[in-house]
Structures are given as structure tokens and as C-alpha cells.
């Protein structure tokens, strides 16, 4: 049985841990609020962009663009958006479980975040590139990732690009999701709402044709890359919001557990202390009786 000194030591060390987790929880909570705000603020733009693009490609007639081209899928690219650091509950393991579902030989991974890169190299899969993004993702970072993906696609190294990220649903629930990014042609008609539930937008059918100014190819040529950049940016924001909320919840649980443990141990410690005092008193009393 543990001595009182051992118990005291344990209580002290758990107290320290609880302090650390509590601090991390506070940090994550304040970062979460920011990340959540920017993720939610970006949604209307992303949604409108989606519907605009769906309508435009629907009405653009026989217009083709390299980014719209659908090819037979021989090689698949996956942009894996994970966190940089751990201690965020089951977030990354859920994400990696999804990532394992892709075929090992025909899939090339593009990692965003350190955990994703570690995962890809650990499972000995093909890693095309590794990107990092900050606590508050910048549009430039998203542009770099999306540009890389577009190049892979345009040069024919991959025939399809998916994004695997954690969608922010609420503070308590984040779900790993796969969305196809390229070719853009596949979003025709059906619009996947970024974040939250899938949305089907009603296409504007009033006119048979859209006017384009300056020209269809020019407008779409600019719109498509911008759309992809923004899409990736929104994915990063959602992933960040998920990460911070998951971390906050994980740290809150850790703090609660530590406090519970301290309570139990303190009770045990007090019992033990009392027992030893009683024992000592008994001994003194017995000794006195024997003498007297």
C-alpha cells in the first residue's frame, strides 16, 4: 500500500497537470472563437460562389476549360488537411481513418499540416507536397495549395483531386469529410454547400443563355482558379475551427478528470492520515497502561 508521502506526491503532480490542461483549454477557447467566426463568415461567400459557378457552367454552352475536363480516373490526388499539433482528441485519428480508405497505389497525397505529413510517411504512401498553415489561415497559404493541386491536375499527374478535411458542425461535433475539388465539371447542377448540410440550389432557368463580359473564356478562366483558391481557403478555415473546438473539449475533459482524481486521492490520503494518528494514539495509551 502506498505511503502518505507517495500519495502527497501524486496529488501534487496531478495538480500540475490540471493547471496545464486548464491553461490550454483557455487558450483553445479564445482561438476557437476567432476561428469559428471566420469560418462562419466565409460561408455566404462560398455558397454564393458555388451557386454562381453552377449556374454559369450550366449556361456557358459548349465552353470548355482544362479545369472542367473530366477524365478517366487512373491517378487520384488527395489534399489532406490536418492539424499541426496533437492533443485535440480523436480529431486526427478520425481523419486518418478516412484517409486510409483511398487506394494506396493510385493515390498521391498533398499534406496540409504536420500531422498529415507524418501520417503519409508513416503509412508509406506517396506524398507529393507538404504545406503548412497558421492559426489564422491566410488566403495566400490557400492559394499556394490550390495552385499546386491545379498544376498536378493540368499536367496530367492526377485525374481527380479530393479534399479530406474536418468539417466544423458545432463545438461538440466535427466530421471528417471528403469533397471533390477537381475537375470542376463535376459540380455542375448539384451544389455542395461548404459547411453544414449539403445544399441543392435551384438553377436559374429563366434564360437559355448568359451574356459574358468581356468573354466567356476570359471570365471563366479567371473565375475558376479563384473559385478553387477560395474553396481551399474555406476548407482551411473549417479545419482550423474544428481543431480548436476539438482541442478545447479534449482539454476540458482532461481538466475534469484530473480534478476528479485529485478529489479521490485527497480522500484516500486523509483516511490514511487519520488511521495512522489513531494507531499512534492507541499505542501511546497502551504504553501508558502497561507502565501505570
Show which residues are catalytic.
88
Cβ-based nearer residue to other proteins, 47 or 161: 47
Query: Cα separation of 54 and 135, whole Å?
Result: 31
Q: Could you say whether residue 222 binds other proteins (CB under 8 A)?
A: yes
Beta strand pairing call for 174-182 and 160-168: antiparallel
Q: Could you say whether residue 55 binds other proteins (CB under 8 A)?
A: yes
What number of chain residues touch other proteins (CB under 8 A)?
33
Q: Could you say whether residue 233 binds other proteins (CB under 8 A)?
A: yes
Query: Cα separation of 173 and 153, whole Å?
Result: 33
Which of these ranges, 25-33, 91-99, 140-148, 182-190, lies near other proteins under the rule CB under 8 A? 140-148
Which of these ranges, 109-117, 165-173, 216-224, 243-251, lies near other proteins under the rule CB under 8 A? 216-224
Q: Could you say whether residue 62 binds other proteins (CB under 8 A)?
A: no
Residue with cell 478516412: 98
Which of these ranges, 114-122, 180-188, 199-207, 283-291, lies near other proteins under the rule CB under 8 A? 199-207
Beta carbon of residue 120, minimum distance to other proteins (angstroms, whole number) = 24
Cβ-based nearer residue to other proteins, 32 or 39: 39
Q: Which triple of cell numbers denotes residue 250? A: 479534449
Cβ-based nearer residue to other proteins, 18 or 56: 56
Distant-in-sequence, close-in-space partners of 102: CB < 8 Å, separation ≥ 6: 76, 78, 162
Q: Which residues pair with 258 in a beta bridge?
A: none
Cβ-based nearer residue to other proteins, 131 or 153: 131
Residue with cell 477524365: 71
Q: Which triple of cell numbers denotes residue 66? A: 482544362
Cβ-based nearer residue to other proteins, 165 or 233: 233
Distant-in-sequence, close-in-space partners of 124: CB < 8 Å, separation ≥ 6: none
Instruction: Report CA dihedral (121, 237, 160, 59) to the nearest 10 degrees.
Output: 180
Q: Which of 12, 23, 139, 190 binds other proteins (CB under 8 A)?
A: 139
Contact 196, 52 (CB under 8 A): no
Angstrom CA distances, 194 to 8, 40, 236, stand at: 52, 10, 11
Beta carbon of residue 211, minimum distance to other proteins (angstroms, whole number) = 4
Interface residues with other proteins (CB under 8 A) are 38, 41-42, 44-45, 48-49, 52, 55-56, 59, 138-140, 143-144, 204, 206-207, 209-214, 216, 218-219, 222-223, 226, 230, 233
Amino acid at each position: 500500500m502506498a505511503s502518505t508521502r507517495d500519495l502527497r506526491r501524486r496529488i501534487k503532480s496531478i495538480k500540475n497537470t490540471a493547471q496545464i490542461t486548464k491553461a490550454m483549454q483557455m487558450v483553445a477557447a479564445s482561438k476557437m472563437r476567432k476561428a469559428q467566426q471566420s469560418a462562419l463568415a466565409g460561408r455566404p461567400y462560398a455558397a454564393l460562389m458555388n451557386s454562381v459557378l453552377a449556374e454559369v457552367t450550366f449556361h456557358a454552352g459548349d465552353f470548355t476549360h482544362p479545369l472542367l475536363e473530366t477524365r478517366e480516373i487512373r491517378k487520384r490526388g488527395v489534399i489532406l488537411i490536418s492539424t499541426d499539433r496533437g492533443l485535440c482528441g480523436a480529431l486526427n485519428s478520425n481523419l486518418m481513418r478516412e484517409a486510409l480508405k483511398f487506394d494506396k497505389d493510385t493515390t498521391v497525397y498533398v499534406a496540409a499540416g504536420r500531422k498529415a505529413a507524418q501520417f503519409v510517411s508513416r503509412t508509406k504512401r506517396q506524398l507529393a507536397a507538404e504545406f503548412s498553415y497558421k492559426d489564422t489561415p491566410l488566403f495566400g497559404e490557400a492559394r499556394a495549395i490550390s495552385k499546386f493541386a491545379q498544376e498536378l491536375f493540368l499536367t496530367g499527374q492526377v485525374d481527380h483531386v479530393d479534399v479530406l478535411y474536418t468539417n466544423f458542425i458545432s463545438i461538440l461535433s466535427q466530421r471528417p469529410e471528403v469533397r471533390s475539388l477537381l475537375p470542376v465539371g463535376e459540380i455542375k447542377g448539384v451544389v455542395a454547400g461548404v459547411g453544414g448540410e449539403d445544399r441543392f440550389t435551384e438553377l436559374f432557368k429563366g434564360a437559355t443563355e448568359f451574356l459574358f463580359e468581356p468573354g466567356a473564356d476570359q471570365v471563366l478562366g479567371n473565375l475558376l482558379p479563384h473559385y478553387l483558391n477560395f474553396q481551399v481557403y474555406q476548407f482551411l478555415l473549417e479545419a482550423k475551427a474544428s481543431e480548436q473546438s476539438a482541442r478545447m473539449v479534449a482539454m476540458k475533459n482532461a481538466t475534469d478528470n484530473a480534478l476528479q482524481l485529485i478529489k479521490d486521492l485527497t480522500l484516500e490520503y486523509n483516511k490514511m492520515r487519520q488511521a495512522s494518528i489513531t494507531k499512534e494514539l492507541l499505542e501511546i495509551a497502551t504504553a501508558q497502561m502497561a507502565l501505570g
